[in-house]
Amino acid sequence: MKYDVEVKISLKKGMLNPEASTIQRALALLGYEVQDTDTVNIVKFSMDEEDTNAVEKEVDDMCQRLLCNPVIHNYEIQISPMRDE
């Protein structure tokens, strides 16, 4: 079965986020007041697997080994059966 996978990767609380700080300052210069700016990277892909448990296990391994640094990043995995088009 085919599955759509979305992984959201963000920095853990307390980690410096220069990208978010730059965005917040730029928005302030444009006249927008924004608080608690954060950036999130989203990685989307599809996989063929027998069930969602197998997909989740493989994607978790991908996150631990390549997609993020578990020491400084949090990640959230969303899995859904691929819709027929």
Using CB atoms within 10 A of its CB, is residue 79 exposed (0-12), middle (13-18) or buried (19+)? middle
Residue ranges, the chain, pLDDT below 50: none
- Superfamily designation of domain 2-81: Phosphoribosylformylglycinamidine synthase subunit PurS (3.30.1280.10)
The pLDDT value recorded for residue 85 is 59
Q: What is the C-alpha separation between 43 and 66, in angstroms, rounded?
A: 12
Cβ contact 77:56 at 8 Å: yes
- pLDDT in the model for residue 38: 86
DSSP conformational letter for 82? P
